[in-house]
Chain A
Amino acid sequence: MTISSTLPSSKSERGHGKDGQGRPDARAAATPQARPALTENHVRQKSLTRTLFTPFGPIPPALAAALGIAIWVAILGIWIAVTHNGLVEPIFLPKPSQVVETTVALAQSGELWEHTLASVKVVLIGFVVSSLVAVPLGLTMGTYRIVQAFLDPLVNFIRYLPVTSFVPLFILWIGIGIEQRVAVIIFGIFFQQLVMIADAARSVPRDLVNAAYTLGTRRVETVRHIVFPATLPNVLDILRVTMGWAWTYLVVAELVAARSGLGYISLKAMRGFQVDVIFMAIAMIGVLGLLTDQSFRVLRRLAAPWAS
Chain B
Amino acid sequence: MQNTPSVATPDSDIAVEDVSLRYGRGQNAVLALSDLSLAVRPKEFCVIVGPSGCGKSSLLYLIAGLQERTGGTIRVAGRAVSEPGADRGMVFQAYTLFPWLTVAQNVEYGPKRKGIAAAERRRIVDHYLEEVGLTAFRDHYPAQLSGGMKQRVAIARALANDPDVLLMDEPFGALDSQTRHAMQQLLLRVWDHQKKTVLFVTHDIDEAILLADRVFVMSGRPGLIRKEISVDFERPRAMDLVMEPAFIAMKREILELLRGDGDAR
Interface residues of A in 286-308 (CB under 8 A from B): 304-307
Q: Which of B89, B92, B158, B161 contacts A207 (CB 8 A)?
A: B92
The SS class assigned to the A binding surface is: helix
Closest to A231 in B: B100
Once the chains are docked, how many angstroms separate the CA of A212 from the CA of B113?
Answer: 10
Closest to A213 in B: B84
Contact A211/B99 with A216-B85, A216-B161 known, Cβ cut-off 8 Å: no
Would B86 and A216 count as touching, CB distance under 8 A? Answer: yes
Contact A210/B100 with A215-B113, A216-B85, A216-B110 known, Cβ cut-off 8 Å: no
Residues of B within 8 A of A207 (CB): 92, 94, 96
Contact A215/B109 with A210-B84, A210-B92 known, Cβ cut-off 8 Å: yes
B14 at the interface (CB under 8 A from A): no
**Chain B CB within 10 Å — which of A210, A217, A229, A307 has the most?**
A210
Interface residues of B in 96-135 (CB under 8 A from A): 96, 98-101, 109-110, 113-114
Shortest C-beta distance, A201 to chain B (Å), equals 15
Contact A215/B92 with A210-B64, A229-B98 known, Cβ cut-off 8 Å: no
Residues of B in contact with A, size category: 20 to 34
B143 at the interface (CB under 8 A from A): yes
Would A232 and B89 count as touching, CB distance under 8 A? Answer: no
Annotate B137-161 by CB proximity to A: 1 below 8 A, 0 otherwise: 0000111000000000010011001
Would A306 and B64 count as touching, CB distance under 8 A? Answer: no
Annotate B165-207 by CB proximity to A: 1 below 8 A, 0 otherwise: 0010000000000000000000000000000000000000000
Once the chains are docked, how many angstroms separate the CA of A305 from the CA of B90?
Answer: 27
Would A210 and B98 count as touching, CB distance under 8 A? Answer: no
Q: Which of B86, B99, B141, B142 contacts A215 (CB 8 A)?
A: B86
Residues of A in contact with B, size category: 10 to 19
Would B100 and A304 count as touching, CB distance under 8 A? Answer: yes
Would A210 and B90 count as touching, CB distance under 8 A? Answer: yes
Would B64 and A214 count as touching, CB distance under 8 A? Answer: yes
Closest to B100 in A: A229
Residues of A within 8 A of B143 (CB): 306-307
Would A217 and B99 count as touching, CB distance under 8 A? Answer: no
Shortest C-beta distance, B92 to chain A (Å), equals 5
Closest to B114 in A: A216
Would A215 and B100 count as touching, CB distance under 8 A? Answer: no
Residues of B within 8 A of A214 (CB): 64, 66, 84-86, 88-90, 158, 163, 167
Once the chains are docked, how many angstroms separate the CA of A232 from the CA of B100?
Answer: 9
Can you give 6 contacting A-B residue pairs, CB < 8 Å?
A210-B61, A214-B66, A215-B86, A305-B141, A307-B99, A307-B143
